[in-house]
Structures are given as C-alpha cells and as structure tokens.
Amino acid sequence: MLRAFTQVDVFTATPYLGNALAVVLEADGLGTEEMRRLAAWTNLSETTFVLPPTSPEADYRVRIFTPSQELPFAGHPTLGTCHAWLEAGGTPRDPGEIVQECGAGLVRVRRTGDGLAFQAPPLIRSGPVEEPLVASLAEALGIPRDAVVDAEWADNGPGWVALLLADAESVLALRPGTVPCDVGVAGPYPAGSDLAYEVRAFFPLQGATVEDPVTGSLNASLAQWLLRTGRATAPYVAAQGTAIGRAGRVRIATDDSGNVWVGGSTVTCVTGRIEL
C-alpha cells in the first residue's frame, strides 16, 4: 500500500543542516515489526508513524522508532511530526495549540514566530549522577574527571546523563571513545554571545559511539536543569551539531507558569509516497 511520506529537517531553517526525520503520515494498519523494519531501513535518528489518537484530548498519535528500538518520547520527532501533520492539512482542535499523543503521554506543541515548540515533559529521573559513572563517562570522552563541572540525571524518556563542562570550546573539542550510556554534554558560551550553550549528544550503538545531530529531548532536560540551578536564564538559544557540520539551533523559553518550551525551525526536504 502506498502511504504519504515526508522527510523533515528539524531545528534549522536551512535544509540539510539540522536533524532529519522520516514521517509516515498514514500509518493505520501497520504493525510494530513493519515500523521497526522501515526505521532500520531509513537509518535516521528517528522515524515516526502518525496514527489516529486514542485520547480525546489529542489531535494525533505518534509512534517513534530509532533504527533499533521504539521510544516513548523524543524531541526532534515531536516537532518534525507536528510540522508534517500540519503541512498535510491537519487541523488541531485548538487553533493555538496542537496536542500530540505518544508513549510518554500527551505533549503540547505551539506555533512560534520561527517554527514550533513543545512543552518539556516531566523528568522521569533527575538528581546527582553516581560518581563511578561520571568517572567512566569522563574517561570515555577523553577528558579528566575534574573537567566535569557538574553532572545530573536528565531522563525524560531517553535516559540522558547530562554533563556540564567549563565552556563551549571544551565541548567542541571532545573526541569520544565508546560511551557506556546516553550522554549529553553542554558548555556555556561567553557572556554577550548570541548563543548561550553548545550541546553535544552521544549514545552507544553496536559497540560504537554515535553523535546525534540535534536533540530535542536532551535540550529539554538540560534546560530544566540549567534554569533550575541558575546556570541559564530564559529565553536562550543553544547550538548543536557544530562539530559534525550541522547548524542546529534550539530555542528555550518559559511561560508564565514556569513551564519550559523547546522550539526551533522545521523545513520539509522530501515529500512523496512510500510502499508499506
């Protein structure tokens, strides 16, 4: 069966400089194994499948797959799927807000002046990281233990460990070996810069370390940590992907209730139909 298909570049207004996402817009009737097979074939960070919602509050439901597993939530797929759904003619119940249903529950998405933004979900796990794991991560990243200024669990579905380094230059200089778990690293730019933080995300895959170009879930949990501890003030812009030739820009804001919103530009690169 031919189904509507699109590829969206997320966290960039310039095609091919953000993080690509494959979206199957008419996924009714597809089984989990078929979804897994396509996600492995696209070999992108994530592939999503849009389905009718089961919650009366949601506008659509999405299942999110990496090439190797299904995720309950991920940030750049949330924005990219919403972009594709709206572009295909989706009409939200509330003109001011789109509600996405996913494995982690309901995620709210808003249109912004330069794209879309999702409300950061609650953290599943936070707090200090065990010292042996911090030491192991520092060794894997090729830096001394005392180069890690602070470490925090930043788990909002994907189980990120967040490390803070002294500055953005230190983050860009990382040349990691094999990391033992999913790890996000951030370092501040000098005061007065257009950018507040440089971010990089690494995860282990089949004995190797893979770097994610731009990571919404990590930036969401990083923002919750950095804002709570006074290391950042909203709004701010984080850069990601610089070290691998991308130019991702993630915009962090808060609302009057203190909720964190994670946003950026999205752009369609490929449209058509796919046989599934």
- Report the catalytic residues: 46
Burial-class residue 11 by CB neighbours within 10 Å (0-12, 13-18, 19+): buried
The structure tokens 């789109």 sit at: 98
In whole angstroms, give the CA distance from residue 87 to residue 126.
36
In whole angstroms, give the CA distance from residue 162 to residue 241.
16
Q: What is the dihedral of CA 178, 68, 74, 220, to 10 degrees?
A: -10
The token duo for 46 is 């994530």
Question: Per DSSP, which regions of the chain are E strands?
Answer: 2-10, 19-24, 46-51, 60-65, 70-71, 98-102, 105-112, 115-119, 150-155, 159-164, 183-188, 197-205, 208-212, 236-240, 248-254, 260-264, 266-275
188 prior amide bond cis, ω within 30: no
In whole angstroms, give the CA distance from residue 270 to residue 276.
17
Q: Give φ, ψ of 255 to 5 degrees.
A: -105, -175
At 142, the amino acid letter reads G
In whole angstroms, give the CA distance from residue 80 to residue 64.
11
At 36, the amino acid letter reads R
How many other CB atoms are found less than 10 A from the CB of residue 197?
27
